C-alpha cells in the first residue's frame, strides 16, 4: 500500500508518518513539501524513509502532477491552515488552503486515480456555538461556526461528501476533537503555556505567563492516539459517512484550558509561576464547550485512546523544555 500524507511536516502529519513507516501493510510513505518553504525538523528522524515530493496544494496543476506520478492507494489529508486566531484576518487564505486545496485533490483523484481513498480529518471547531443541552455532540448536531477557520473546514468536509455522492470518490470523513502533544506549534493553548514555562525555567522570561481565554472546556486526546484513529478510519470506516473522533467525556480527559494551564504550572521546577490575560490572545468569539459522543467511531473500529491528559501535558512540556534548552524554540 502506498500512502500519501499531505502536511507531513506538520504536527499531526509527522506523527502519522512516524507510525506508518513501521506499518507492515504500507509499502511506501509519500509526503509533500513546498520546495524551500517547508520546515523538515518534524520528520528528520524518518527523512530517509519517506518519499518527498514538491507540491503546492493550492495549485491544481501541481496537485495533478503529484497524483499522476504517485497514484497513492490512500491519501491522509493533514495539510491545512489550522490556527484559528489568524483566520479572522486572513479568511481568503484559509479558504484557499482548506477548501480549494481539498477540492484540487478530489478533482485530481476523480480524473487520475479513482480508486484512491481520501481521508479528510475535520475539526470539532466546526460545531462552534454549542448549547449546554446539546452536549455531547453527535454527527447530527447543528453546525454554528463562529470563526472563518471553522467555515473553511465545513466547506472542506462537505465538498468531500459531494464528490462521494456525485462520483463515488472514496472519501473518509472524520471530525476530531482537541488533540495535543509534542510538535504542536506554540501558538496553540497547551503548547503556548508549556513553551512559556520552559522559558521561565531557563530564566528567559519573568514567571508571569500570558494567556488568552482559558475557560473553554474540551475533551483532550494525545496526538499519538489520534493518528492511530485516523489509520483505523481509513481501513475500517465507510466512505461518505461522518465519524467523530476523540476522548469521551470523563474526569480523565475533559478539562478547561485553565485546568490544563494550572496542571502544567504544577509540573514546573519553578515555584509561584503566575498567569495573566493578555487581550491580544483573546479571540473575538469563543467556543466554550466541545465534548463529543464518539461511540459511532468506536463501535466501527474498536479504537480507544491509550494515553491520558497527564501524558499529553508531560510530553508537551518536555518537548518545549528540550527545544528551549537547545536554542531551537524561536
What does the pLDDT look like over 119-130, one tens digit per residue? 999 999 999 999
Task: Classify residue 84 by its DSSP letter.
Answer: S
pLDDT at site 224: 98
Confidence of residue 6 (pLDDT cuts 50, 70, 90): very high
Residue 216's CB: how many other CB atoms inside 10 A?
Answer: 17
Tell me, yes or no, whether 285 lies in a domain.
Answer: yes
Question: What is the residue whose three cell numbers read 511506501?
Answer: 28
pLDDT at site 304: 94
pLDDT higher at 152 or 34: 152
pLDDT at site 330: 82
pLDDT at site 38: 76
Taking the alpha carbons of 52, 55, 57, 61 in that order, is the dihedral positive or negative? Answer: negative
Q: Grid coordinates standing for 291?
A: 465534548
| Contact of 201 with 269, CB cutoff 8 Å | yes
Tell me, yes or no, whether 35 lies in a domain.
Answer: yes
Tell me, yes or no, whether 299 lies in a domain.
Answer: no
CATH of the domain at 18: 3.40.50.720
Q: Tell whether omega for the bond before 136 is within 30 degrees of 0, i.e. cis.
A: yes
Q: How far apart are CA 160 and CA 119, in angstroms?
A: 9
Residues 6+ apart with CB under 8 A from 250: none
* 20 lies in the same domain as 38: yes
pLDDT at site 156: 98
Tell me, yes or no, whether 295 lies in a domain.
Answer: no
Q: How far apart are CA 146 and CA 282, in angstroms?
A: 14
* 38 lies in the same domain as 62: yes
pLDDT at site 252: 79
* 235 lies in the same domain as 264: no
Boundaries of domain holding 275: 185-218+253-290+307-325
Tell me, yes or no, whether 279 lies in a domain.
Answer: yes
* 94 lies in the same domain as 7: yes
Taking the alpha carbons of 213, 219, 221, 227 in that order, is the dihedral positive or negative? Answer: negative
Tell me, yes or no, whether 20 lies in a domain.
Answer: yes
* 319 lies in the same domain as 258: yes
Query: Does 145 have pLDDT greater than 90?
Result: yes
List the one residue out of 184, 186, 193, 185 whose CA is nearest residue 214. 193
CATH of the domain at 257: 3.90.25.10
* 119 lies in the same domain as 209: no
| Contact of 263 with 214, CB cutoff 8 Å | no
* 210 lies in the same domain as 226: no
**Rounded alpha-carbon distances, angstroms, from residue 78 to 14, 237, 291:** 9, 18, 22
pLDDT at site 92: 98
- The secondary element (H helix, E strand) that includes residue 228 is helix 223-236
**What pTM, to 2 d.p., does this model score?**
0.97
Strands 217-219 and 254-256: antiparallel
Query: Does 37 have pLDDT greater than 80?
Result: no
| Tally of domains within the chain | 2
| Contact of 152 with 308, CB cutoff 8 Å | no
* 132 lies in the same domain as 274: no
* 71 lies in the same domain as 89: yes
* 117 lies in the same domain as 225: yes
Tell me, yes or no, whether 209 lies in a domain.
Answer: yes
List the one residue out of 290, 184, 287 whose CA is nearest residue 246. 290
What does the pLDDT look like over 213-235, one tens digit per residue? 999 999 999 999 999 999 999 99
What does the pLDDT look like over 49-63, one tens digit per residue? 999 999 999 999 999
Tell me, yes or no, whether 300 lies in a domain.
Answer: no
What does the pLDDT look like over 231-269, one tens digit per residue? 999 999 999 999 999 998 677 789 999 999 999 999 999
Residues 6+ apart with CB under 8 A from 23: 231
| Contact of 228 with 22, CB cutoff 8 Å | no
* 151 lies in the same domain as 56: yes
Q: How far apart are CA 87 and CA 285, in angstroms?
A: 12
| Contact of 103 with 144, CB cutoff 8 Å | no
Q: How far apart are CA 222 and CA 312, in angstroms?
A: 6
* 214 lies in the same domain as 240: no
Amino acid at each position: 500500500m502506498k500512502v500519501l500524507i499531505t502536511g507531513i511536516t506538520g504536527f499531526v502529519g509527522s506523527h502519522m508518518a512516524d507510525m506508518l513507516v513501521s506499518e507492515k501493510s504500507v509499502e511506501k510513505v509519500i509526503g509533500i513539501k513546498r520546495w524551500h518553504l517547508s520546515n523538515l525538523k518534524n520528520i528528520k528522524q524518518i527523512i530517509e524513509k519517506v518519499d518527498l515530493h514538491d507540491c503546492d496544494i493550492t495549485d491544481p496543476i501541481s496537485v495533478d502532477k503529484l497524483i499522476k506520478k504517485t497514484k497513492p492507494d490512500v491519501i491522509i489529508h493533514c495539510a491545512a491552515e489550522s490556527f484559528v486566531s489568524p483566520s479572522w484576518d486572513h479568511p481568503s487564505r484559509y479558504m484557499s488552503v482548506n477548501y480549494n486545496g481539498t477540492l484540487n485533490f478530489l478533482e485530481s483523484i476523480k480524473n487520475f486515480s479513482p480508486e484512491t481513498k481520501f481521508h479528510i480529518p475535520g475539526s470539532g471547531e466546526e460545531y462552534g456555538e454549542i448549547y449546554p443541552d446539546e452536549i455531547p455532540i453527535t454527527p447530527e448536531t447543528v453546525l454554528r461556526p463562529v470563526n472563518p477557520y471553522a467555515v473553511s473546514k465545513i466547506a472542506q468536509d462537505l465538498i468531500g461528501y459531494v464528490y462521494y455522492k456525485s462520483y463515488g470518490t472514496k472519501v473518509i470523513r472524520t471530525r476530531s476533537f482537541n488533540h495535543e502533544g509534542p510538535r504542536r506549534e506554540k501558538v496553540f493553548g497547551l503548547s503556548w503555556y508549556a513553551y512559556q514555562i520552559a522559558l521561565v525555567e531557563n530564566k528567559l522570561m519573568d514567571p508571569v505567563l500570558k494567556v488568552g481565554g482559558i475557560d473553554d472546556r474540551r475533551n483532550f486526546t494525545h496526538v499519538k492516539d489520534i493518528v492511530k484513529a485516523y489509520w483505523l478510519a481509513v481501513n475500517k470506516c465507510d466512505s461518505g459517512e461522518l465519524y467523530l473522533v476523540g476522548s469521551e467525556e470523563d474526569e480523565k480527559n475533559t478539562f478547561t484550558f485553565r485546568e490544563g494551564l494550572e496542571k502544567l504550572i504544577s509540573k514546573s521546577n519553578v515555584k509561584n509561576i503566575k498567569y495573566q490575560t493578555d487581550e491580544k490572545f483573546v479571540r473575538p468569539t469563543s467556543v466554550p464547550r466541545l465534548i463529543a459522543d464518539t461511540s459511532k467511531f468506536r463501535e466501527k473500529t474498536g479504537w480507544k485512546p491509550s494515553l491520558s491528559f497527564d501524558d499529553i501535558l508531560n510530553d508537551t512540556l518536555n518537548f518545549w523544555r528540550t527545544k528551549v534548552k537547545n536554542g531551537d524554540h524561536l
